Amino acid sequence: MVEKIISLESISLVDFLGVENANIKEIAQAFPNTKIVARGSEIRIMGSNTEIVRINEIINSLLEHYNKYSKITLDNVRSYMNDNPAQVPLHELEDDIILYGAKGTAIKPRGHNQLKLVQAIYNNDLVFALGPAGTGKTYVAVAMAVRALKNKMVKKIIITRPAVEAGENLGFLPGDLKEKIDPYLRPIYDAFEDMIPAEKLKFYQEKNVIEIAPLAYMRGRTLGNAFVLLDEAQNTTAMQMKMVLTRLGEHSKMVVTGDESQIDLPRNQRSGLIHASEILRDTEGIGFVRMESKDVIRHQLVKKIVIAYDKFENEHQQSSR
């Protein structure tokens, strides 16, 4: 009798094995002469070499399916056992789907400009996504980063943003580094939690496959084989922006998001986002996508608030000339 052990580390066991290990029991019923036991984060297979090879193929196919869709159903198990992995609902094969989230929900662009952002990231190694809050700039960028990681296009994801509210001098705040910067990075964590099962997200962070850090910690690094997101970039200085842009290494992509109407820098400091937009606007290989107030996807009142503020600021600028 031959024995094979398959490790299931860093994945959600209930989403892969099914409730009360129903998915593994389905495979076991198809191979009554082989013993299959799921215990902890391992699957132990004991039987003939021929059957173990076939079961290993099925489980590896299911792991690939899980890495793409974040969930395994009994129909998926039966499909792979019947050598018909293409039995996926047609709506799951639509071109505009970025990836499937932690609960198997399709994450796709919402609106024309979000689709333009997705296409810009496909076609450029550096993309600036500009526009008001609530338009999905950061969410789409995180989704594209997770897709790149799942498809093994990059080896890690690096998310950074300036902690300008604390002047990037975090020493006076209580707690360790993570506790100091977490309040500024909460929107990023929320996006990741939508897209990656909790166990896998924790594993990625522990192994530094996903790194979330303040902008100051990017200095001196070369960010290769990575998907880099600089969020809230309107609060970078020109020097900080140049520093992070020149960190980009081989086989990497970078997305810079920001809202020029929400700059929190001191009045005598110019936003690095505005400065970089003017300098790099016509540079080949760099994409620019402008989101508008009509793209706001939060509460319907948010769109009206953004439009009202834009109107007030335009009228104020005209009257001050």
What pLDDT score was predicted for residue 300? Answer: 64
DSSP 3-state assignment of 303?
helix
To which H or E segment does residue 62 belong?
helix 49-69
Q: pLDDT 10s digit of each residue in the chain, 321 long? A: 688 889 887 777 888 888 888 999 999 998 988 999 888 888 999 988 888 888 988 998 888 888 777 778 888 888 888 865 544 443 333 457 888 888 778 888 888 888 889 989 988 999 999 998 888 899 999 999 999 998 889 999 999 988 765 444 555 555 555 566 666 677 788 889 999 988 888 999 899 999 988 888 888 888 899 999 999 999 999 999 999 999 999 999 999 999 988 888 888 889 999 999 999 988 988 999 998 877 776 666 766 787 788 788 777 766 665
Say how many CA atoms lie within 13 Å of 92 toward its Cβ: 13
Are 16 and 80 spatial neighbours (Cβ–Cβ below 8 Å)? no
Determine the residue type at 251: H
Instruction: Single out the residue of 192, 235, 196, 193 nearest to residue 216, CA to CA.
Output: 235
pTM assigned to the model: 0.66
What pLDDT score was predicted for residue 88? Answer: 41
Are 42 and 5 spatial neighbours (Cβ–Cβ below 8 Å)? yes
Which residues in 29-62 are b (16+ Cβ under 10 Å) and which e?
Answer: ebbeebebebeeeebebebeeebbebbeebbebb
